[in-house]
Copies of this chain bind each other. A is one copy, B any other.
């Protein structure tokens, strides 16, 4: 792990290496659930899609695999990690354990500055539209970013960059599930109210209440994903060809 984590050089692919650029782009696509066609991810395909040589691509793939977003078999290349209801369940359970601890610590060590950041994060999230009018079937990437930022801020004061990194990693995995299964019409869920409750209780220093709200939030999300899983849906949705066109 990363670092347990994600983004050693800042986020942009601005001035970085080609390897980092491919890493960021591919990572985005993975979280967005844009791939997932078949499980194999051929180097050559990535090369032609992101315009880089084999070496940088390979480095990017190695990083993603170490992070758990891809799998790897020596001599047999890389593949997209499969998704399953069981895995999502385990993931959610783990996430609840870690985030509970992180939130409690954050609340215990809260500072005025952190509280302000939290207020800001909530405000920004409230302003964003979850779904854009022009494409009501997909989540608004901007909302996704702010949502991510909100949850990250919640635990930012926990005092452990390791724990934050682990939570990020689980959050990435959860994103993948959420965005894969949430394609289609939105649910009637009132996200904003949930986030507001979490933030309010946190700011009140009500650790038990905040934790309860946060875990319910995660569990509900997971339950909805599993729901859709079981309702059967086409797991093959994005791009990403696997074998050459069959003859």
Contacts and interface: CB of A to CB of B under 8 A. Distances in A.
A8 B244 CA distance: 27
Q: How many copies does the complex hold?
A: 2
A25 to B, nearest CB: 15
Contact of A63 (B17, B63, B90, B161): B63
Interface residues of A, number: 43
Interface of A: 1-6, 8-9, 15-17, 19-20, 55, 58-59, 62-63, 65-68, 71-75, 90-91, 93-94, 97-98, 101, 159-163, 165-166, 169-170
Contacts of A169: 1-2, 4
A163 B55 contact: no
Contacts of A15: 74
Contact of A94 (B1, B58, B66, B160): B160
Contacts of A94: 160, 162-163
A52 to B, nearest CB: 14
